[in-house]
Amino acid sequence: MSEAGTTGAPSRVAIVTGAARGIGAATAVRLAQDGFAVAVLDLDEGAAKATVEAIESAGGKALAVGADVSDSAAVEAAVERIATELGAPTVLVNNAGVLRDNMLFKMSDSDWDIVMNVHLRGAFLMTRAAQKHMIDQKWGRIVNLSSTSALGNRGQANYSTAKAGLQGFTKTLAIELGKFGVTANAIAPGFIQTEMTKATADRMGVPFDDFIKGAASMIPVARVGQPEDIAHLVSFFVSEGAGFVSGQVVYAAGGPKA
């Protein structure tokens, strides 16, 4: 395989889940800039096409893939398709996520289950399917998207639990897969300006601009994060130069969190 742009990686194929918008889309675009062919995976394949078009218009290579990351058969089929059409994937960014916020006494079984299924089961299934290609190549990079909510957040018992679980998952992957040349790290973003945070503001009945200003006032760097801030950190973690960094959780929140 030819090298992946500036990363020096022996494979050029990356998978980014939840890549139709927000952090996932920015990450897919950034990895394409780094020289990877990118599988833009989302629940709705049609929604992923805008990201693919952005990559292709800049001269990159990308493939829109529709799959429910919590469905084992769908995940296996998606990874097989990616391996066939783009090549063996050796970078996986587990970004797909949903919110079902509520106070504990109001939280339904389905509120809990869907968040666990997408975040935790989804990351497990995607990683299990992709790791075989990394092991075959004797090189791989896994990046899981956690959150500062892993430290606890009112109204997010489900989301906080899932995001904390991803940190344990990451550390275990680092231990199990390190001898095969595969690293695993997690990024825990703070407030990032996306459709997801806008949905939170809408749910709270707060104008988004006010929501952003309020959040920025509590962040040491005096601004909220942008999807590109997280994409930049992903770019580092998947680079050749980050090969001795594994099992780590970086809180990208504009200030100290953990």
Average pLDDT, integer, range 168-180? 98
pLDDT at 86 over 70: yes
User: What percent of the chain has pLDDT above 90?
Assistant: 93
Contact indicator for 64, 38 with CB cutoff of 8 Å: no
pLDDT higher than 50, residue 8: no
Neighbours of 75 (CB within 10 A): 24
pLDDT tens by residue, 213-231:
999 999 999 999 999 999 9
> What pLDDT score was predicted for residue 1?
35
Give SS3 for 235: helix
Q: What pLDDT, in 10s, does the model give residues 9-56?
A: 444 899 999 999 999 999 999 999 999 999 999 999 999 999 999 999
Place of tokens 């079984």: 109
**Which range, of 15-29, 35-49, 190-204, 241-255, averages the lowest pLDDT?**
190-204
- Of the residues 139, 159, 169, 237, which is catalytic? 159
Question: Active site includes 159?
Answer: yes
Is pLDDT at 3 greater than 80 in this prediction?
Answer: no
Helices (H), the chain: 22-33, 45-57, 72-85, 109-116, 122-137, 157-177, 195-204, 208-216, 227-237
Kindly give the residue spans of alpha helices, DSSP state H, lying in 138-243.
157-177, 195-204, 208-216, 227-237
Residue 7 pLDDT > 80: no
What pLDDT does 6 receive? 44
Question: Which pLDDT score, from 0 to 100, does residue 10 have?
Answer: 44
**Least confident residue range of 25-29, 108-112, 178-182, 200-204:** 200-204
Residue 44 pLDDT: 96
Nearest to 111 by CA among 150, 44, 165, 157: 157
**Phi, psi torsion values for 145, nearest 5 degrees:** -90, 110
Please give the average per-residue pLDDT across 89-97, as a whole number. 98
Torsion sign across C-alpha atoms 24, 11, 70, 237: negative
The mean pLDDT value for 147-170 works out to 98
pLDDT in the model for residue 5: 43
Task: Kindly give, in sequence order, each residue whose CB lies less than 8 Å from that of residue 37, ignoring residues fewer than 6 positions away.
Answer: 12, 13, 14, 60, 61, 62, 63, 86, 87
Average pLDDT over residues 61-89: 98
Q: How many residues does the chain have?
A: 258
Mean pLDDT of 159-163: 98
pLDDT at 76: 98
Q: Rounded CA gap, 9 and 81, in Å?
A: 21
pLDDT at position 203, please?
84
Confidence at residue 130, expressed as pLDDT on a 0 to 100 scale = 98
**Burial tier of 62 (Cβ tally within 10 Å: 0-12, 13-18, 19+):** buried
Residue 59: which residues within 8 A CB-CB, separation 6 or more?
none
